[in-house]
Amino acid sequence: MENPILLPTIRNIAISGRIGSGSSTLAKRLANVLHWKLLNGGDLFRQFTKDHGFAEGRSDQFDLDYEARVAKILHDEEHHIIESHLAGFDAQGIDGVFKILVVCEDEDGDKTDIRIDRLVNRDQTTVESAKHEVFERERQNLEKWRRLYAKGDNDWVYWKREYFDFVINTYSHNPEQSLALVLEKMGYKE
Q: Please write the tens of the pLDDT for every residue from 113-126.
A: 999 999 999 999 99
Predicted local confidence at residue 110, as pLDDT: 97
What is the pLDDT confidence band of residue 49, given thresholds at 50, 70 and 90? confident
Q: How far is CA 163 from CA 10, 47, 87, 92, 148, in A?
A: 16, 26, 10, 7, 17
Which helix H or strand E contains 105, and what residues bound it?
strand 105-106
Average pLDDT for residues 131-158, to the nearest whole number?
Answer: 96
Predicted pLDDT of residue 45: 87
Contacts of 7 (CB under 8 A, 6+ apart): 34, 98, 186, 187, 188
50 vs 88, higher pLDDT: 88
Predicted confidence at residue 190, as pLDDT, reads 76
Contacts of 126 (CB under 8 A, 6+ apart): 120
β-pairing verdict for 105-106 and 109-110: antiparallel
Q: Can you tell me whether residue 160 is helix, strand or coil?
A: coil
Tell me what pLDDT residue 8 has. Answer: 87
Amino acid symbol at 83: E
First-to-last C-alpha distance (Å) of the chain: 18
Q: Say which amino acid occupies 146.
A: R
Give mean pLDDT, residues 19-29.
96
Predicted TM-score of the model (pTM)? 0.94
Please state the φ and ψ torsions of residue 130, each to the nearest 5 degrees.
-65, -40
23 pLDDT tier (thresholds 50, 70, 90): very high
Residue 1 has pLDDT above 70, yes or no: no
| β-strand pairing of 80-83 with 12-17 | parallel
Alpha carbon distance 111, 18 (integer Å): 11
Q: What are the pLDDT digits (tens) for 69-106?
A: 999 999 999 999 999 999 999 999 999 999 999 999 99
Q: Lowest mean pLDDT: which of 45-59, 107-121, 128-142?
A: 45-59
Q: What is the CA radius of gyration of the chain?
A: 16
Determine the pLDDT at residue 55: 60
Helix (H) or strand (E) holding 55: none
Q: Which of 161, 168, 188, 182 is nearest to 21 (CA)?
A: 168
Tell me the C-alpha to C-alpha distance, in Å, between residue 131 and each of 26, 83, 113, 157: 22, 21, 9, 19
**12-105+154-185 to CATH, choices 3.10.450.50, 2.40.50.140, 3.40.50.300, 2.40.50.1070:** 3.40.50.300
pLDDT at 132: 96
Confidence label for 30 from pLDDT (cuts 50, 70 and 90): very high
Confidence band (pLDDT; 50, 70, 90) for 52?
confident
